[in-house]
Structure 1
C-alpha cells in the first residue's frame, strides 16, 4: 500500500525531513574529500555546526589519524571506479572519544554517469562490537580459573603453527588432586585449581599462554622451542605446584607431572597436544623425573 504524503508536503521536503530526523551519521563528500552535506546526527557527533563542517576534508574532522590514508584512498578509488565498498573504522567525536562506525558508501553520479561525490551512511556500532568482544572473551575463558580454556588454546596453537615460527607445549596433569577433592569437597578443589592457574600464569613469559585443558589438566603454550628454557619452565612448574596450598584444616599438598613437546613442520594442534600428553604420561610413570629434566616427546 502506498501512503500519500500529507497535503502540501512535497517529496523534497519528505527527504529533508528524513535526513534531519535520522540518527545515522549522514555525510556527502566530493572527490577531494571535502564535506558537502551533513545531517544533525553527524553534527552532534562532531560537535560542529553544519556550516562549520561544509568545505572541510572529512578525514581532518572525524577520522582517527591511523585511518586517514585509508580514507583518502577509499575516496580516490570510489571516484575512479564508480564503486564504493562498505567499510568499518574508528571515528573521533568532538570530545575526542573513539567510536566504531560501520559505513555504507554510495558513489553519486551526474546525468552522464560521471562520479561527482560519495555519500556515506554511518552507524555507530561501538557498543555492539564491545558486546561481541565480551561474548567472545567469555567463550574463550575458563570460568573457574579465569584463564583461557581448551578452545582458546587450540586456536592459539593453530595460529602459532601456521605462522611458521614454531612453538612448544608443557602438558601439566595434577597428581593427588582427586584425593584432595574427594576428602575436602569440590569448593576446596575448585580453589586449588584456581590457585594452580594463578601460579602457572605467574611463571609464564609475556608470549606464553596458560590454559586449562580440562579437569585438573593445564597447558602452557610457549612461542620458543629452546629445550633448556622449556626444561627450566617445567622445573619451575613442578616446584610451584608442589608448594603447599592453604586448606580448611591446614596446608594441602599435591604434585604435577609435566610432558614437553615441540612443534614440527606440518604438525596439527592435535598432533602437538597428543605428543605432549604422551610425554606427560611418561613422566607420571617415572615419578622421579617429575621435578627433573622433562623428556622431549619424540613420537
Structure 2
C-alpha cells in the first residue's frame, strides 16, 4: 500500500480544516440567528462530519492531482528527450545534419559572421576493415570529442556523415586556423590511442575552412569547403602508415 505523499497530506489538512471552520461557523451562525439551541449530539456531528467527509474526499482529489502533475512532468521530459534525439547524432551526441542546417542558416539570415569548417576522419574505412566497426566507432567518438574540446561551447558542431563533421565558429584567420587544425589532430591522436588501445596508430583528420559570405547557404558552403578538403586529401599517402598492406 502506498501512503499519501507529504504534499497530499499537507493540502488535505489545510483544505479540511478550512472547510470544517467554514461549515461550523455557518451552522453556528444560522442556529444563533433563529435562536435554536444545539444539543451535545448536534455539536458532535458539526465537529466530526466535516472531517469525516472532507479528509477522504481531499485525499482522493489531491492524490489524483499529484498523479496528473507527475504524468505531465514525465510527458514534458519524454518530449524533451525525443526532441533532443531528433536534433542529435545518436553516436556522438553532436547536432545532426538537419539541425545544423537549420541553426546555420538561421545565423546566416540574421547576419552572424563566422567560419565554416569541414572535417573528415582519415582512413576510417581501413580502420573498420582492419580493426572492426567498434574501433571505427571509437574513431568517430574521438573525432567528436577533439572538435568539441578545441572549438569550444560557442561553436555549432555536427556529424553530417559517417566520417564527416562540420562546424560554424567565430571568424578565424589562416594562422589561427593552422593552429586549430594542429590542436584538433593532437587531441584526436591522443584520445584515440587512449580509447582504442592502439598506441602506435596516429588517427588524424583532414580539415578545411571557408569564411562565410553573405547569402551563402549550407549547401553553398559545403560545396566550396569540400573542394579544399579533397585537395588536401589528395596529398595524403594512399594508406595510413599503421595500415599499410606492405607493413
Shorter chain as denominator, the TM-score bin is 0.5 to 0.7
User: Match of 1:202?
Assistant: 149
- The Cα offsets for residues 199-253 of structure 1, whole Å up to 9 and x where unpaired, read as 221112231122211111112221x113144443223223333446243564422
Residue 168 (1) aligns with residue 115 (2): yes
Greater strand share, 1 or 2?
1
Q: Residues 173 and 258 of structure 1 are in contact (CA less than 8 Å); yes or no, is this contact kept in structure 2?
A: yes
Aligned partners of 1:196, 1:150: CA distance in 2, in Å?
16
Aligned pairs (5 A) from 1:120-199: 125-199=72-146
Aligned pairs (5 A) from 1:42-61: 49=15
TM (normalized to structure 2)?
0.61
Q: Residues 173 and 257 of structure 1 are in contact (CA less than 8 Å); yes or no, is this contact kept in structure 2?
A: yes
* Greater RCO, CA 8 A, separation 6+: 2
Q: Residues 161 and 167 of structure 1 are in contact (CA less than 8 Å); yes or no, is this contact kept in structure 2?
A: no
User: Match of 1:225?
Assistant: 171
Give structure 1 regions of 4+ aligned residues with deviation exceeding 4 angstroms. 47-52
Report the Cα offset of residue 185 of structure 1.
0.6
- The Cα offsets for residues 157-187 of structure 1, whole Å up to 9 and x where unpaired, read as 1121122122222101111222111001111
Instruction: Pick the structure with greater CA Rg.
Output: 2
Residue 236 (1) aligns with residue 183 (2): yes
Q: CA RMSD in A?
A: 3.3
TM (normalized to structure 1)?
0.51
Q: Give the gaps of 5 or more residues in structure 1.
A: 1-40, 53-123, 289-299
**Alignment: residue pair count:** 178
Aligned partners of 1:264, 1:48: CA distance in 2, in Å?
64
Q: Residues 116 and 210 of structure 2 are in contact (CA less than 8 Å); yes or no, is this contact kept in structure 1?
A: yes
1:258 corresponds, among 188, 193, 207, to 207
- SS in structure 1 at match of 2:214: coil
Aligned partners of 2:118, 2:198: CA distance in 1, in Å?
30
